[in-house]
A and B are shown apart, each in its own frame.
Chain A
């Protein structure tokens, strides 16, 4: 177990709705990254937060937004849900040490959009 937790584990929404996913990072980690993993695909980078600021973003539209809190936990918000947003959403925490950072993934939130 990595110490990264995510909630909820499963979620079902309908098209057009909004969703908020939550992540608690591993103790001592100040960086959180979010990934989307569609069935049969590898995880795709959505964005990263470092010390409460967005620190990089992948090729996702603005309706994907996030927050990081002073305790380094994080939220991923998705507005105007589309069917293609159905996926496993993964949160990963890391503690930047200058060179490279091993990322510790949570178990994910399975989102189904109907």
Chain B
């Protein structure tokens, strides 16, 4: 069955460092991969989308890579800030004709001052 795995342990880093979150998937051929941020008790907020034929995408301090051979995406936040503390969700979307997302469980990021 389709499976999406994200680091289950919270990631603790110091302010100013680069945070790297991992998303691995099996039994899936996504056309697109998306990353969302979710704060406690709130809905997910879209951050970045990367297509299967793209290797890397950047937006301000965020960078996403997508390796369809390894079936893995890495999400980087450079110069991290305490305000970046949240849960980050990886979501896969197939080319099914309608857009629905299959989410991982998310990784909690804690950035300490």
Given the contacts A58-B100, A90-B43, A108-B42, A42 and B89 also touching, CB distance less than 8 Å: yes
CA distance A76 to B42 in the complex (A): 18
- Please name the residue on chain B nearest to A33 by beta carbon: B100
Q: Do B32 and A100 have beta carbons less than 8 Å apart? A: yes
Q: How far is the CA of A107 from the CA of B32 in the complex (A)?
A: 24
Of the four ranges (under 10, 10 to 19, 20 to 34, 35 or more), the interface on chain B belongs to 20 to 34
Question: Does B101 have its Cβ within 8 Å of any Cβ on chain A?
Answer: yes
Count the A residues whose beta carbon is within 8 Å of the partner chain — how many? 31
Q: How far is the CA of A102 from the CA of B46 in the complex (A)?
A: 7
B101-A103 in contact (CB<8A):
yes
A-B contacts, 12 listed (Cβ < 8 Å) = A35-B103, A42-B89, A43-B44, A43-B103, A45-B100, A48-B99, A94-B99, A100-B93, A100-B99, A102-B34, A103-B46, A108-B41
